[in-house]
Every structure is written in C-alpha cells, then in structure tokens.
C-alpha cells in the first residue's frame, strides 16, 4: 500500500491552503488505514468463539500502552493519542459485537 507524499512539509507551509490540503491528504490516508483496521476487527468478530471475549480489559490496556509508546516515539501528544485510541477501541468493540452477533445468527440459521 502506497500513500501520496506531502506536497508541502509542515515546516514549509506558508498558507492555510497548503495546511488544509495536507490535512485532507492525511485524512484520506487515515480513513484507508482505519478501514483496514476495521476489517481485522470484523475477522476477530468472526473468529472469537464467545461474546465475553470481545471486550478484554487487558487487551484494551495493552493496545493503549503500545499506542502511547509509539506516540512518544513519533512526537504525537499523548493528550491526543490516548483519548482518540480509547474512543476508537470502544467503537471497534461495539462493531465487533455486531459482527459477532450477525455471524452467530447466520450460523444458527444455517444449522436449523
């Protein structure tokens, strides 16, 4: 997967049009990555055998810890990273529950 590179690095931006164009470019990249992440969430919903395995507090904290370590390494404010990822995780868990329910309902219909 290749992504378009910046036309104007942040330190070279002199107009808001340049800043906005680069933010729009990054948003398109983020959407692509989030869609890929969602597909893995959907795979988890298909694979996990029990509903109580969808929300695992230890895994949530593991993901957040890894994200915060990477945020520090990349210069991303932890005040941005942590709440964004906690919300992403919560929404992902909700979506995974929906996928889990749909998958189990479809399997039950096939077996009856």
Question: pLDDT digits over 5-35, tens only?
Answer: 999 999 999 999 999 999 999 999 999 999 9
- The CA-atom distances, in angstroms, between 110 and each of 47, 49, 76, 87 are 17, 17, 47, 35
Scored b (16 or more CB within 10 A) or e, 39-65 reads: eebbebbeebeeeeebeeeeebeebee
- The CA-atom distances, in angstroms, between 17 and each of 7, 12, 27, 67 are 12, 12, 15, 30
What integer pLDDT is reported at residue 60 of this predicted model? Answer: 98
CA 58 to chain centre: 18
**Predicted model pTM:** 0.90
Say if residues 96 and 45 touch (Cβ distance below 8 Å). Answer: yes
What integer pLDDT is reported at residue 106 of this predicted model? Answer: 81
What integer pLDDT is reported at residue 111 of this predicted model? Answer: 74
Which residue is it, tokens 């597909």? 39
What integer pLDDT is reported at residue 16 of this predicted model? Answer: 98
Task: Kindly give the parts of the chain with pLDDT less than 70.
Answer: 112
What integer pLDDT is reported at residue 5 of this predicted model? Answer: 92
What integer pLDDT is reported at residue 94 of this predicted model? Answer: 98
**DSSP H stretches of helix in the chain:** 16-47, 57-74, 78-111
What integer pLDDT is reported at residue 43 of this predicted model? Answer: 98
């Amino acid at each position: 997967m290749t992504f378009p590179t910046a036309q104007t690095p942040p330190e070279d931006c002199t107009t808001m049009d340049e800043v906005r164009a680069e933010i729009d470019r990054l948003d398109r990249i983020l959407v692509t990555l989030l869609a890929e992440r969602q597909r893995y969430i959907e795979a988890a919903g298909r694979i996990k055998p029990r509903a109580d395995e969808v929300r695992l507090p230890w895994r949530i904290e593991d993901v957040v810890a890894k994200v915060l370590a990477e945020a520090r390494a990349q210069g991303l404010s932890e005040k941005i990273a942590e709440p964004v990822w906690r919300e992403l995780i919560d929404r992902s868990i909700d979506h995974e529950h929906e996928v889990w329910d749909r998958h189990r309902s479809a399997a039950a219909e096939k077996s009856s």
